[in-house]
Amino acid sequence: MKRRRFIRNVAPAGFMVPSFVQGIGFRAFDTGHTFLNQVLLPTGDNDRVLVIVQLNGGNDGLNTVIPIDNYSKYVNARKNIFIEESKILKLRGHERVGLHPAMTGMQQLFNEDKLHIVQSVGYAQPNFSHFRATDIWMSASDSKQVLNSGWLGRFLDEAYPGFPAGYPNVNMPDPLAIQIGSVASLTLQGPIQPMGMSISNPSSFYNLVNNIESPAPNTLAGMELSFIRETSRQTQKFSEVIKAANAKVIVQNPYPTGNTLADQLKIVARLIKGGLKTKIYMVNYGGFDTHANQVESGNNGSGTHARLLGNVSSAIKAFMDDLVYLGIDDRVLGMTFSEFGRRILSNASRGTDHGAAAPLFIFGSRVQGGISGSNPIIPTNAGVGDNIPFQYDFRSVYASILSNWLCVDDGMLNTVLLKNFQNLPLTKLGTCSVLKPVGDPENLLVVYPNPFHKLIAIQFKTIGGHTLLQVLDGAGRLVKIVYDKEVAEGTYRIDFDGEHLPPGIYYVRLQNQLIQQVKSILKV
Amino acid sequence: MDNVRPLQWAPSLQAYSGQWDDASARHLLRRTHFGVKLAELKTVKELGLTATLDILLNDQLAQPLPPIKEYNPTNATVPDLLIAGGQTWVNDPTTDGTINSLRRSSFKKWWVGQMLNQQISLREKMTLFLHNHFATESVDIGNAQFLYKHHSLLRKNALGNFKNLVKEITTDPAMLVYLNGQNNNKTAPDENFAREIQELFVIGKGKGAGFNEADVKAAARVLTGWRNNAAEIKSFFDPNRHDVNDKQFSEFYKSKKIVGKTGADAGSNELDELIGMLFETDEVALYLCRRIYVWFIHYQITPEIEEAIIVPLAQVFRQNNYEIKPVLRLLLGSQHFFDLMNRGCQIKSPVDMLIGMLREMEVKFPADTQYTNQYGLWNQLVNYLTNMQQNIGDPPDVSGWKAYYQEPGYYKFWINTDTLPKRIQYLDTLVAIGYTFGGFKMVVDGTSWIKLFPNPSDPNSLVEALCVHLLGVDISASHKAQLKTDILLAGQAQDYYWTDAWELFIGTPSNMANTKHVSTAVTNLIKYLVDLPEYQLC
């Protein structure tokens, strides 16, 4: 088969990993497993796992991670839904950023350096349709690009070439990915076929009979028939290993009840501990499309959104505690995502309409705690269409996880994500490769005159390498790529002609390797 | 695997001129109903294609009686004691949460009942099509009276005028709740419905769909002011909440400006203009015809199919001022519909699978007079459907079920490692064990059913007939031979082994040992066939 590359080697430095017998390479970690150890260990504990928590409906980022330094503007934009300042949960070492009061579990994780917040994650030309936006996030496409495979589906297809032919095998006896629930996600869709397995109850599988097969005809019907047969085969192959893994774990740390996200994460913890070598788990939790009654009248700290965030927070906290209890917390990294954030301005029905960029969470014992990015800029008089511009492309988050957690090499990374993206320090140093943590951001971007009418000068400082300058409008749409070059370290200036633009708020975004900054500019 | 069609194949909307044989008639019935009964096949075969299409498209069929009170309201805060058991609740406005929840559930059971009792008509399949198209979730609607009213609107327009339906849907109370139209007012427009009417209901997301965010905002302002009156189970227009400014649309809508209006009729007048503007675009008919194509034929719309089927079909849709019937008549009577390449290529939806199976195997249900048991069994079917991911009345979201829009898998979304075992499990249960409610058992009576086939005493003929009737794709002769030997002949070589047993069963059913033997063999045969992947196709 094509593509045998897995995963870059890191320890010891410079040690090359050969392509292995069954086409599966190995990666070595800094957690004491040497390359040889991995060869000798037939099952599990040396494998990293990624857990994706999808928050369906578009989570309101501004009421999740609250910009305390912009508090009065925040209140002004959200007169009927703002969270009282005294109720906002404080984050250790970050007095300008706070969490929604329902998120005490996440607060605790943050203060223990087990939670990383990435601010304003999104992409240029945000799409406001749930369905299209979800596809964009799951397929890791550009806004206007339609991809029919998912980012993790492509990863798994690269990492386990030829799947499902030849699987299960000695190196991968288990499903590559498991989706908790009865629906298959685009995220796990490979270029040709689904790479994941859906299960809702790991303790019971209805036994499928192995029937004789008549040849599938060369028609559309034959194509669908082959698919059903393959699903049947996979179900038969994997149901026993899942049942066995599930049965191995008898005692778990407690989870909250009446919380479907917690129910799902509990299964995930059990399957990981039970010894599955499965790389990816997906869970989801819905109801975030809060157009109306997002908060309770007269008590903005409670209501629908509070209940949702409270459940997310307590489920993730319980999951983390359980992973520690089961002794597998070093192997698991989690991330949340939602198809978009919501509008800066709240609507009259105590809700918020579809928006653009929003924060997301990375959690795990090996996470590099802290916050990437700064608080979103909130205009003094936000209009109905105003959105939070993105600071980080969502694919930078994916790239960082693939590269620094799943230890994917650069060549494969390009195949999976189709382009180069910034690498962010989301995980602890040395998980795969060394990344310099970003210190306090220096002011790298100076704009003048501001407000401007025609020309505005953009002065920027780059550490060298690829440097990108974009101008976005108030709704987060890309107006122009002003600069997109490989340059030497230094300070540069470029003039942007905005005469043709309608008056209003715009944003200049600088991206240079790990660094990015956003400045608002006002066209008059 | 993208295109498995042979090259010489050319899609065409020309009237089907091939033979009107059992296979063609069965194909038409499978795609237009949930499962096919032998008697229906016989009727349609005798009628011929044209007369069959007349019956399928007859929109004068009487509407069914509404759902009834079959629940026990004693846990409600305000029980609906004035409504007697067995009487309908649909006109009784209640705001009690428990009662509404019981009624929503009553509605879903009733709907399953309608599908089970369908006649030869496109109405049920089109009602479900429209539910998937204008997808709403009953839990979000909450109010059961709104829910039923909404459903009736779809049902009445299942073979009606699409443009009129869109207009009515826009101010339908359930839709006003579901997509927040009732909260949409001039001070803070709520864009939810304005977005979905363009993106999902009317214009779609095809290549030619060029509406933008400003159009969403402008449409939201046109639609400001509509509210609901739960006591009268209807919506109304409140001019004080209406945005009276002009609404400017983009070039995609030929830069249409809807002049802001005041007064009691402002909402309705501006809505007319909005609907008129939307339906002026070519995209509406193209989008709807693609949706219909995916529903009735297959999801692979190649450039040739777009050109030869979708474009002319859309033309007909426009020429007929968006009447649905001419489009269906043309498509379902076409060469392309009956093309051998398009047969058996749909993965059954859970409704197709479950309701179809119960219908085609003539499973009996309690009479209307025993409504508690009747609704009780229907409820179990709602549960089965839900577990297989087709919770009727509650699709996953406003875009409906993924099987009808999500690239690249479409129908494949119904089948995964979780749902496939469930499908098989439920089929096996209904064939072999049954499900009991109130002493009434819902189960396939295999021996009674196969008596309806022409020659059940001949094991070759029986296996062949069952395969033809049940499977979307035929199995090989050797496979059939093995089935016959293993199941009907119990490993023996001679056909008379079965023939004798069957004739003894017919002549002397009191011979319990033989009767048991025969009925077990029949059950095993049916169970084997429905467990085949080929049974998942239609």
Domains of chain B, residue spans: 22-58+285-342, 73-281, 448-536
* Interface contact A232-B533, CB threshold 8 A: yes
Please check the confidence at residue A28 and state whether its pLDDT lies above 60. no
Share of chain A above pLDDT 90, in %: 54
Identity of residue B71: Y
Task: Give residues 5 to 44 of B whose Cβ lies within 8 Å of A.
Answer: 5-6
Residue A15, pLDDT score: 31
Of A131, A206, A348, which has the smallest distance from its Cβ to B421's Cβ? A206
Strand partners, A490: A462
Residue B1, pLDDT score: 37
Tell me: cis bond preceding A449? Omega within 30 of 0 counts. yes
Please check the confidence at residue A288 and state whether its pLDDT lies above 50. yes
Task: Give residues 399 to 428 of B whose Cβ lies within 8 Å of A.
Answer: 399, 402, 405-409, 411-413, 415-422, 424-425
* Interface contact B345-A205, CB threshold 8 A: no
Task: Give residues 342 to 401 of A whose Cβ lies within 8 Å of B.
Answer: 346-349, 351, 353-354, 384-385
Calculate helix-pair angle for B371-387, B350-360, nearest 10 degrees.
140
Locate the chain B residue with the closest alpha carbon to A209: B531
* Interface contact A385-B217, CB threshold 8 A: yes
What is the rounded CA–CA span in Å between residue A398 and residue A394?
A: 7
Task: Give residues 173 to 192 of A whose Cβ lies within 8 Å of B.
Answer: 181-184, 186, 189, 192
Task: Give residues 292 to 351 of B whose Cβ lies within 8 Å of A.
Answer: 298, 300, 340-347
Of B399, B417, B473, which has the smallest distance from its Cβ to A197's Cβ? B417
Please check the confidence at residue A211 and state whether its pLDDT lies above 90. no
Residue pointed to by tokens 């990863």: A155
Please check the confidence at residue A474 and state whether its pLDDT lies above 90. no
* Interface contact B195-A228, CB threshold 8 A: no
* Interface contact B407-A148, CB threshold 8 A: yes
3-state DSSP assignment of residue B491: coil
Of B187, B408, B528, which has the smallest distance from its Cβ to A348's Cβ? B187
Locate the chain B residue with the closest alpha carbon to A211: B532
Residue A5 pLDDT class (50, 70, 90 cuts): very low
Tell me: cis bond preceding A175? Omega within 30 of 0 counts. no
Best mutation target among B180, B297, B417 (most A Cβ atoms within 10 Å) is B417
Residue A430, pLDDT score: 62
Please check the confidence at residue A193 and state whether its pLDDT lies above 90. no
Of A194, A225, A238, which has the smallest distance from its Cβ to B533's Cβ? A225
Residue A26 pLDDT class (50, 70, 90 cuts): very low
* Interface contact A220-B298, CB threshold 8 A: yes
Task: Give residues 230 to 259 of A whose Cβ lies within 8 Å of B.
Answer: 231-232, 234-235, 238-239
Rounded average pLDDT over A241-248: 93
Would you give the DSSP letter of residue B485? Answer: I
Contacts (Cβ under 8 Å, ≥6 apart) of A118: A359, A360, A361, A362, A371, A372, A373, A392, A397, A424, A426
* Interface contact A198-B180, CB threshold 8 A: no
Residue B87, pLDDT score: 97
Please check the confidence at residue A4 and state whether its pLDDT lies above 60. no
Residue B188, pLDDT score: 81
Q: Around Cβ B248, how many Cβ atoms within 10 Å?
A: 15
Give me Rg for the CA atoms of chain B.
Answer: 25
Would you give the DSSP letter of residue A452? Answer: B
Residue pointed to by tokens 């993105």: A390
Residue A514, pLDDT score: 67
- Identify the CATH homologous superfamily for domain A445-523: Macroglobulin (MG2) domain (2.60.40.1930)
Q: Can you give the residue ranges of every domain in chain A? A: 48-203+242-417, 445-523
* Interface contact B189-A291, CB threshold 8 A: no
Of A148, A199, A207, which has the smallest distance from its Cβ to B408's Cβ? A148
Cβ of residue A79 closer than 8 Å to a chain B Cβ: no
> Closest Cα of chain B to A511: distance in Å?
27
Would you give the DSSP letter of residue A349? Answer: T
Q: From A286, A307, A288, A285, select the one nearest A296 (Cα to Cα).
A: A307
pLDDT tens sequence for chain B (538 residues): 344 444 346 899 999 999 999 999 999 999 999 999 999 999 999 999 999 999 999 999 999 999 999 999 988 999 999 999 999 999 999 999 999 999 999 999 999 999 999 999 999 999 999 999 999 999 999 999 999 999 999 999 999 999 999 999 999 999 999 999 999 999 888 899 999 999 999 999 888 999 999 999 999 999 999 999 999 999 999 999 999 999 999 999 999 999 999 999 999 999 999 999 999 999 999 999 999 999 999 999 999 999 999 999 999 999 999 999 999 999 999 999 999 999 999 999 999 999 999 999 999 999 999 999 999 999 999 999 999 999 999 999 999 999 999 888 899 999 999 999 999 999 999 999 999 999 999 999 999 999 999 999 999 999 999 999 999 999 999 999 999 999 999 888 899 999 999 999 999 999 999 999 999 999 999 999 999 999 999 9
- Beta strands (DSSP E) in A237-287 are 280-285
* Interface contact A228-B474, CB threshold 8 A: no
Size of interface A-B (CB pairs under 8 A): 173
Cβ of residue A128 closer than 8 Å to a chain B Cβ: yes
What is the rounded CA–CA span in Å between residue A276 and residue A331?
A: 12
* Interface contact A225-B190, CB threshold 8 A: no
Q: Which residues of B touch A183 (CB under 8 A)?
A: 389, 396, 402, 413, 416
What is the rounded CA–CA span in Å between residue A39 and residue A25?
A: 10
Q: Which residues of B touch A238 (CB under 8 A)?
A: 417
Residue A441 pLDDT class (50, 70, 90 cuts): low
> What fold characterizes domain A48-203+242-417?
Alkaline Phosphatase, subunit A (3.40.720)
How would DSSP label each residue in B197-256?
IIIIIIS-SSTT----HHHHHHHHHHTTTEEEETTTTEEEE-GGGS--S-EE--GGGTT-
Please check the confidence at residue A402 and state whether its pLDDT lies above 60. yes
Q: Which residues of A touch B476 (CB under 8 A)?
A: 214-215
ipTM of the complex in this document: 0.91
How many H helices and E strands in chain B?
25, 6
* Interface contact A212-B479, CB threshold 8 A: yes
Q: Is A518 exposed, middle or buried (0-12, 13-18, 19+ CB in 10 A)?
A: buried
Residue A41, pLDDT score: 29
pTM, full prediction? 0.80
Locate the chain A residue with the closest alpha carbon to B195: A129
Locate the chain A residue with the closest alpha carbon to B478: A214
Cβ of residue B383 closer than 8 Å to a chain A Cβ: no
Q: Which two tokens stand for residue B198?
A: 């363009």
Residue B60, pLDDT score: 92
What is the rounded CA–CA span in Å between residue B256 and residue A107?
A: 51
Write the pLDDT tens digit of every residue in A323-339.
999 999 999 999 999 99
Best mutation target among A185, A219, A229, A289 (most B Cβ atoms within 10 Å) is A219
What is the rounded CA–CA span in Å between residue A324 and residue A258?
A: 23
* Interface contact A214-B422, CB threshold 8 A: no
| Lowest pLDDT segment from A65-69, A149-153, B172-176, B183-187 | B183-187
